[in-house]
Amino acid sequence: MSVRSDAPLAIVGAMQEELAALLAAMPDARPETLAGRQFWRGHLEGRPVVVVLSRIGKVAAATTATVLLAHHGVRAVLFTGVAGGLAEGVAVGDVVVARDLLQHDMDASPLFPRHEVPLTGMTRFPADAALANALAAAAQDVLAELPAHLPADVQAEFAMTKARLHRGLIVSGDRFVATAAESARLRADLPDALAVEMEGAAVAQVCHDWGVPFAAVRTISDRADDAAHADFGRFVGRVASPFSAAIVRRTLTRL
């Protein structure tokens, strides 16, 4: 498929709260419903975009991505959301930009090596380097200008002034990882995994099939441990939504 350079960029969000923050900055956005999903076409930072909620889990996100790519002719896909921190040093409030993505619950062994997606020969789906660099630079800018994006009490509550950027492996699976035992198992299986979520590797696989550049950024909402559920809830509304909208908007100005 050849894609025109003035084709829209897709922004896929994992949470309604984030989408709302982006749509608030898109007064010209109009929804089109397909497969039960609302695809919002409009402009953000002067660039043509299509914004859509991925829904939760790999199948839902892959369906969203497939409909998006089949019907909207987008030139690239940016995924934004929250994730559980896995690697030591990946703390709540930190930002992770994917270098590559893997499905941690894919296991067709002994027919195929563990974690390999059957018939693709691939275990890790790489993010587009240029897009990932733009996301990382935007995230650095936003982290350096926290007061412009988050009220002081929210920064203090989540120790956001200590937040850092990480780049590397994000793993996805159809489980909300909410026990220390399960995150320890993931760390043992995949020692270089920085963060865990439920959609990214599925969307990366669909984009790979279509030859469309893909990149993902996740803000860490919890440590994927016994406190994950409570931490996730507190973080999403107060930090993740304004924060990831700011990163996406800043990324668009860099493309």
User: Contacting ligand ADE (CB under 6 A), which of 221, 241, 244, 251?
Assistant: 221
Task: Give the contacts of 96 (CB within 8 A, at least 6 positions apart).
Answer: 83, 85, 90, 165, 166, 167, 168, 170, 194, 195, 217, 218, 219, 220
Per-residue mark of binding to ligand ADE, 77-116 (x: CB under 6 A): -----xxx--------------------------------
Our answer to whether residue 28 is catalytic in this structure is no
Q: Which stretch binds ligand ADE (CB under 6 A): 23-31, 47-55, 59-67, 216-224?
A: 216-224
Tell whether omega for the bond before 113 is within 30 degrees of 0, i.e. cis: no
Our answer to whether residue 18 is catalytic in this structure is yes
Task: Give the contacts of 133 (CB within 8 A, at least 6 positions apart).
Answer: none
Residues in the chain: 255
The beta-strand segments (E) located in 140-230 are 165-172, 193-197, 214-222
Nearer to ligand ADE, 54 or 205 (CB): 54
Per-residue mark of binding to ligand ADE, 39-78 (x: CB under 6 A): ----------------------------------------
In the complex, what is the shortest distance from the CB of residue 99 to ligand ADE, in angstroms, rounded to a whole number? 19
Nearer to ligand ADE, 116 or 231 (CB): 231
Strand 95-103 versus strand 47-53 pairing type: unpaired
Q: How far apart are the C-alpha atoms of 77 and 214, rounded to whole Å?
A: 5
User: Contacting ligand ADE (CB under 6 A), which of 90, 216, 228, 245?
Assistant: 228
Q: Give the residue numbers marked as catalytic.
A: 18, 222
Q: Which positions touch ligand ADE (CB under 6 A)?
A: 82-84, 176-178, 196-198, 221-222, 224, 228, 232
